[in-house]
Amino acid sequence: MFLINFPLTLIPFAVYNFFVIAGGSDPWNDPAFSFATGSGVVFTATLGQALTLLALFFLLVEALKSRCIEISTATDHVLSFCVLVAYGAEFYYIGRAATPTFFLLAAIAFVSLVASLMLSRKRASRLRIER
């Protein structure tokens, strides 16, 4: 399986940087989609909210991946930690990354790392008890 050692939280990081660096402007407050609700109110989501939603989906996939894969290697954790460090360094040193959207993406990367560490630790202790 090719997704074993690939931190999916790297994808929103790359997408954010592609648009900010290549685009030159900050598109994250632009409307992404909207629809009318049953009450007649029009709900509008921004590109930043859509990217955060995508990152949350990747967080779910990371948690399922960490839970389902029998052998979770230290490489998974190291790569997730490197992604988190990249988020933190960019947020701190690059002014264009100091946005609420980027901060939420960094928080999702942190939750992904901590969740995978906790799930692998729980699985390791369960395997130790079974033996």
| 83 close to 7: Cβ distance less than 8 angstroms | yes
Instruction: Supply the pLDDT for residue 124.
Output: 56
Instruction: Supply the pLDDT for residue 69.
Output: 59
Q: How confident is the model at residue 13 (pLDDT cuts 50, 70, 90)?
A: very high
pTM of the complete model: 0.82
Instruction: Assess whether pLDDT exceeds 80 at residue 57.
Output: yes
Q: Which amino acid, residue 90?
A: E
Q: What is the pLDDT of residues 65-122, one digit of tens each?
A: 776 655 556 788 888 899 999 999 999 998 888 889 999 999 999 998 998 888 776 6
Average pLDDT value for the chain: 84
Instruction: Supply the pLDDT for residue 96.
Output: 84
Instruction: Supply the pLDDT for residue 87.
Output: 96
